[in-house]
Structure 1
Amino acid sequence: MLTEGGSFMKGMAMGGVFCLVLSLLTSFSPIPESRKEDSHHHHHVKAASKDELKRLTDSQVQEWSNQVRVYCIIMVQPKILVYWATAADTWSKHCDKAVFYTSESSKALEAVDLNEKDDWARLRKALKHAYDNAGDLQWFFVAQPTTFAIIENLKHLVLTKDPSEPFYLGHAMKSGELEYVSYDSGIVLSYEALKRLVNVFQDQDKCPERGRTLWKLSEDKQLAVCLKYTGVFAENGEDAHGKGLFNSKSIESLISESMKDNPSNVVEGCCSDMAVTFNGMSPNQMQVMMFGVYRLRPYGHDFRDLLEFYPPEGSDND
C-alpha cells in the first residue's frame, strides 16, 4: 500500500507527464494562430450584378470573356470509375483545360498517374502539376468526379476578379478557428493563391506532405491550413443577391428541403439560378443535369446574357 507521501509524488509525476504532453500538442497545433496583422473577418465574394455588367464597354466585355479561362483539376480513383467516366463525358468538357489526376493508372480512361495512395499527398502533387502546366490559364477549379460543375457560371463569378490577387473560393465552412472551403462543393484558386500554396509546400513545418501523426485533417482542411500561412483565407462564393453558388448537395435534395422549409416559394428557397456546383448525384442524374443545363431550350426565348463564354477550340462539348 502506498504511503501518503508516495501517492503525492506519484500524482505529481503523472501531472507533469500530462502537462508535457499537453504542451507538445499545443506547440504542434496544425492550425496556425492568427496574428494581429493577419486578422481576417470572413467575407463573401459576389458575382457581378447585371447593372455592373451593363456599365462595361463592349471591348471590356469581349476582353474579359476571353481572358477568364479555367484549368480543372479533377481528382479520381479507379474504384469510382463510373463517376470518372461521367465527369469526362459531361461538365469537364466545358473547362478550358481539364486534367484528371488518379491514385493509380487505369487503362479505361486517360489521367495523370500520381502513384500516390495518401489523399493529401496526392492533392499536393496534382496542384503542383497544374501550376507547372497551366500556361496562360489563371484560374483553377479543384473537384471530385462526384461534383457537377457549371463552368460558365464559375467564369461569371470570377469575371471581375484579378487572378494576380489571392482568391480561395467556394462553400466556406468553419471548424473551430479554421475557415476552409468544402472539397465536396469544389474549390476555386486564383493563380496567385496557387503560387503561394506551391511555395509553402516546400516548408514541411507549416505544410507537411503527410500531415501530423497525432491527427489527420481532411484534404480541404489541410489545404486551408497551408494557405492560411501564406495570408490566403477561405471566402464564400455568392451571386449578386447573396445566395451561395457552391452546393454540397444535389439539386433534388435542395428542392426537397425547400419544399419543406419554403413551400410558398420553392424555387427562390432552393438555390441560386447562377449556381456553380452540386454534389451527391448519381452518374445518371449527372447526365440528366447536363441535358437540362446545356441542351433543353424553350424556342423563342432569349436570355439576353451580356457575356458569352465559348468552349475551347476543337472541343466536342455540348
Structure 2
Amino acid sequence: MTQPQHLESRTQHVRDTWGKRCNIVLYMSSKESDFPTVGLNVSEGRSHLYWKTIRAFQHIHKHHLDDADWFLKADDDTFVVLENLRYGLSEHNTEEPMYFGRRFVPFVAQGYMSGGAGYVLSKEALRRFVKGFADGLCSHNTEIEDIGLGRCMETMKVKTGDSRDVLERQTFHPYPPDYYLLRQLLRPRPWYLLYEHYDPVEGPGCCSDLAISFHYMDAVGMHTLEYYTYHLRPYGYKYRFNPD
C-alpha cells in the first residue's frame, strides 16, 4: 500500500530492499504511475484505507489469483523478511481458509491481524474475502482497515493462524525493533500491549530470531535492516533454524 506522495520518500526504498525478494510485488495506490503503481480509483488518507485494501484484494483476485499461493499486504513503511515468511508458511496449506499476522483481540471475537505489521492471506482466504463482498456478506462497516478485514474474515470463516515461532516468540511486529528490545526505556506503556492476543513479552526475549516484519520503518531504517539481515554476519557462526 502506498500513495503518490510517498513514492520517493518510502516506496522506492521498499523496492530497493525487501520488495525485490517477492515473487510478484504490486504497489497499490490511488493513481496509476510508471513507478509502477496500480491505480485503484480510491481516495487517499487513513479513513479510506479499508476501501483501498478491498479494491487491492479484488484486483489481485481478478488478475493474479493463480500467480501465487499466499498474498501479503504490507504498508510502504513496513520491512518484511521474505525468507522467514516463506519458512513460516511452509507447513500450512494455502487451500485452507486462514490468515497470519500479529493477532490483536478487541472488536472481533476471534481476533484480527494488525494492519501495520502486515498480514498474509491463503489463496482460499483471498477467495472468501472477495466473495464476502460479492455476496453482500461483508461490508465497509468501519474506516479501520485491519478491524474491517478481521470482521469479514470471521464472517467468511477464515481462521486466524498462529504466526509465533517454536519458542512462542512473535514474528510480525507493528513497531520498529527498538520498541520491543528497549521497552524498559520507553514510557508511557504503549497501547498495543493492551491489544495483544498472547501475553506480551518485553526486552530481548520479545522477538523471534525468524522475525518477519517491522512497521514504521523510515528509509534509513529500511536500509539498516537490509544490511543487518542480509550482510552482517559474525565470523564462524552457523545459524540453526530449529533451536533445541
Per the shorter chain, which TM-score range? 0.7 to 0.9
Quote the residue 1:87 is aligned against.
14
Question: How far does residue 136 in structure 1 lie from its aligned partner after superposition?
Answer: 4.1
CA shift in 2, pair 1:301/1:181, >3 Å: same
Per the normalisation by structure 1, the TM-score is: 0.65
TM-superposed deviation, 1:258: 5.4
Q: Which residue of 1 aligns with 2:167?
A: 241
Written as runs of structure 1 = structure 2, the 5 A alignment for 1:129-278 is 129-132=59-62, 133-178=64-109, 179-204=111-136, 206-208=137-139, 211-212=140-141, 216-257=142-183, 266-268=203-205, 270-278=206-214
Is contact 1:139–1:190 with CA below 8 Å preserved after alignment?
yes
Cα-to-partner distance string for 1:199-251 (whole Å, 9 max, x where unaligned) = 112133x222xx24xxx341111111111111113334100011111111101
- Counterpart of 2:107 in structure 1: which amino acid? G
Matched, 1:121 2:51: yes
Which of the pair has more CA radius of gyration? 1
Residue by residue over 1:152-187, the C-alpha shift from the partner in whole angstroms, topping out at 9 and shown as x without a partner, is: 111111111111111111111122344211101101
CA RMSD of aligned residues (A): 2.1
**Residue equivalent to 2:38:** 112
**Are the counterparts in 2 of residues 83 and 145 from structure 1 also a CA contact under 8 Å?**
yes
Pairwise CA distance, 1:98: 0.9
Q: Deviations over 1:67-122 (max 9, x none)?
A: xxxxxxxx111122211111111111111111111112345x21111121132222
Cα separation, 1, equivalents of 2:241 and 2:166:
15
- Equivalenced residue count is 221
Deviation, 1:300, is: 3.5
Query: 2 CA distance for matches of 1:252 and 1:160?
Result: 30
| Distance in 1 (alpha carbons) for counterparts of 2:132 and 2:214 | 30
Aligned-pair CA distance for 1:279: 1.1
Cα distance in 1 for residues equivalent to 2:49 and 2:207: 30
Structure 2 SS opposite 1:238: coil
Determine the C-alpha separation between the residues in 2 that align with 1:100 and 1:291. Answer: 23
Distance in structure 2 (CA, Å) of the matches to 1:88 and 1:141: 15
The verdict on how the C-alpha distance between 1:130 and 1:300 changes in structure 2, with shifts beyond 3 A counting, is: same
Read off the aligned partner of 1:188 and give its amino acid letter: V
Q: 2:241, 2:49 → 1: CA distance?
A: 40
For residues 10-62 of structure 1, give each alpha carbon's deviation from its aligned partner in whole angstroms, at most 9, with x where no partner exists. xxxxxxxxxxxxxxxxxxxxxxxxxxxxxxxxxxxxxxxxxxxxxxxxxxxxx
| Bigger mean CA deviation after superposition, 121-130 or 143-152 | 121-130
Measured after TM superposition, the shift of residue 304 of structure 1 is 5.6
TM-fit CA distance, 1:274: 0.8
* Partners of 2:49 and 2:143 within 8 A in 1: no
Provide the residue aligned with 1:288 in structure 2: 224
| In 2: Cα distance, 1:146 partner to 1:301 partner | 31
- Matching of residue 78 in structure 1 with residue 4 in structure 2: yes
The answer to whether the 8 A contact 1:236-1:244 is kept is no
Q: Structure 1: how far apart are the matches of 2:240 and 2:163? A: 24
Contact 1:259 1:266 in 2 (8 A): no
* C-alpha separation in 2, matches of 1:78 and 1:236: 34
Which secondary structure does the structure 2 equivalent of 1:237 belong to?
Answer: coil
Distance 1:141 1:106 in 2: 21
Alignment TM-score, normalising by the size of structure 2: 0.83
- Structure 2 distance, partners of 1:236, 1:305, is 18
